[in-house]
Protein backbone atom coordinates (compact mmCIF):
# COMPACT_ATOMS: atom_id res chain seq x y z
CA UNK A 1 0.00 0.00 0.00
CA UNK A 2 1.19 3.44 -0.88
CA UNK A 3 -0.04 6.84 0.19
CA UNK A 4 -0.10 9.50 -2.54
CA UNK A 5 1.54 12.79 -1.57
CA UNK A 6 1.01 14.80 -4.77
CA UNK A 7 -1.21 14.72 -7.86
CA UNK A 8 0.11 12.63 -10.79
CA UNK A 9 2.36 14.21 -13.42
CA UNK A 10 2.82 12.99 -17.03
CA UNK A 11 6.09 11.23 -17.86
CA UNK A 12 7.65 11.03 -21.33
CA UNK A 13 11.05 9.39 -20.68
CA UNK A 14 12.83 7.60 -17.86
CA UNK A 15 15.95 5.58 -17.04
CA UNK A 16 15.06 1.90 -17.06
CA UNK A 17 17.07 -1.21 -16.29
CA UNK A 18 16.12 -4.03 -18.64
CA UNK A 19 17.99 -7.26 -19.39
CA UNK A 20 20.82 -6.12 -17.11
CA UNK A 21 21.39 -2.79 -18.87
CA UNK A 22 20.29 0.72 -17.94
CA UNK A 23 19.12 3.02 -20.71
CA UNK A 24 16.97 6.11 -21.26
CA UNK A 25 13.60 5.02 -22.61
CA UNK A 26 10.40 6.48 -23.98
CA UNK A 27 7.42 5.41 -21.89
CA UNK A 28 3.65 5.25 -22.32
CA UNK A 29 0.71 3.65 -20.58
CA UNK A 30 -1.35 0.86 -22.16
CA UNK A 31 -5.09 0.27 -22.01
CA UNK A 32 -6.30 -3.15 -23.21
CA UNK A 33 -8.02 -3.69 -26.54
CA UNK A 34 -11.79 -3.87 -26.67
CA UNK A 35 -12.62 -7.19 -28.29
CA UNK A 36 -16.32 -6.31 -28.56
CA UNK A 37 -15.59 -3.31 -30.82
CA UNK A 38 -12.32 -4.55 -32.32
CA UNK A 39 -10.48 -1.51 -30.94
CA UNK A 40 -6.72 -1.98 -30.66
CA UNK A 41 -4.85 -1.23 -27.41
CA UNK A 42 -4.94 2.44 -26.47
CA UNK A 43 -1.76 4.32 -25.60
CA UNK A 44 -2.28 6.68 -22.68
CA UNK A 45 0.14 8.95 -20.83
CA UNK A 46 2.43 7.35 -18.28
CA UNK A 47 2.06 9.11 -14.94
CA UNK A 48 4.31 9.55 -11.90
CA UNK A 49 3.11 10.28 -8.41
CA UNK A 50 5.13 11.07 -5.29
CA UNK A 51 4.23 8.50 -2.63
CA UNK A 52 5.20 7.22 0.77
CA UNK A 53 6.64 3.72 0.58
CA UNK A 54 6.93 1.71 3.78
CA UNK A 55 10.32 0.35 2.73
CA UNK A 56 11.92 3.42 1.13
CA UNK A 57 10.21 6.40 2.76
CA UNK A 58 9.43 8.88 -0.02
CA UNK A 59 9.43 7.46 -3.55
CA UNK A 60 8.01 8.01 -7.04
CA UNK A 61 5.58 5.50 -8.54
CA UNK A 62 5.41 5.54 -12.36
CA UNK A 63 2.34 3.80 -13.75
CA UNK A 64 0.26 3.61 -16.91
CA UNK A 65 -3.06 2.17 -18.00
CA UNK A 66 -4.71 -1.08 -16.93
CA UNK A 67 -2.05 -3.01 -18.87
CA UNK A 68 0.77 -1.01 -17.24
CA UNK A 69 3.73 0.66 -18.93
CA UNK A 70 5.41 0.17 -22.30
CA UNK A 71 9.07 1.13 -22.88
CA UNK A 72 11.32 1.70 -25.86
CA UNK A 73 14.99 2.77 -25.69
CA UNK A 74 15.44 6.32 -27.00
CA UNK A 75 18.34 4.99 -29.10
CA UNK A 76 15.73 3.15 -31.26
CA UNK A 77 14.26 6.50 -32.36
CA UNK A 78 10.83 7.99 -31.75
CA UNK A 79 8.39 5.31 -30.63
CA UNK A 80 5.60 3.90 -32.73
CA UNK A 81 3.88 1.93 -29.99
CA UNK A 82 3.08 -1.65 -30.97
CA UNK A 83 2.73 -4.74 -28.78
CA UNK A 84 4.43 -6.79 -31.53
CA UNK A 85 7.56 -4.56 -31.62
CA UNK A 86 10.42 -6.65 -30.18
CA UNK A 87 12.42 -3.53 -29.24
CA UNK A 88 9.62 -2.56 -26.83
CA UNK A 89 8.60 -4.27 -23.59
CA UNK A 90 6.16 -3.76 -20.77
CA UNK A 91 6.09 -3.71 -16.99
CA UNK A 92 3.21 -3.09 -14.58
CA UNK A 93 4.83 -0.08 -12.85
CA UNK A 94 8.16 1.27 -11.55
CA UNK A 95 9.14 2.66 -8.15
CA UNK A 96 12.07 5.06 -7.88
CA UNK A 97 13.62 6.56 -4.74
CA UNK A 98 13.70 10.02 -6.34
CA UNK A 99 12.63 11.74 -9.53
CA UNK A 100 16.12 12.04 -11.06
CA UNK A 101 15.41 9.05 -13.35
CA UNK A 102 12.14 10.53 -14.65
CA UNK A 103 11.60 13.17 -17.37
CA UNK A 104 8.24 14.84 -16.88
CA UNK A 105 6.12 16.11 -19.76
CA UNK A 106 3.77 19.04 -19.96
CA UNK A 107 0.70 18.71 -17.72
Q: What's the mean per-residue pLDDT of the chain?
A: 91
Q: For the chain, what are the domain ranges?
A: 3-104
The pLDDT tens digits of the residues spanning 22-59 come to 999 999 999 998 888 888 899 999 999 999 877 668 89
pTM of this prediction exceeds 0.85 = yes
In our burial notation (b when 16+ CB lie closer than 10 A, e otherwise), range 6-36 reads eebbebebbebeeeeeeeebbbbbbeeeeee
Question: First and final CA of the chain: distance in angstroms?
Answer: 26
Contact 77, 88 (CB under 8 A): no
Amino acid sequence: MYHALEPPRPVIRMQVTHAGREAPCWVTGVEPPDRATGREPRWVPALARKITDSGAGIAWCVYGGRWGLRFQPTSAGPPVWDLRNLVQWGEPYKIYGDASNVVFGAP
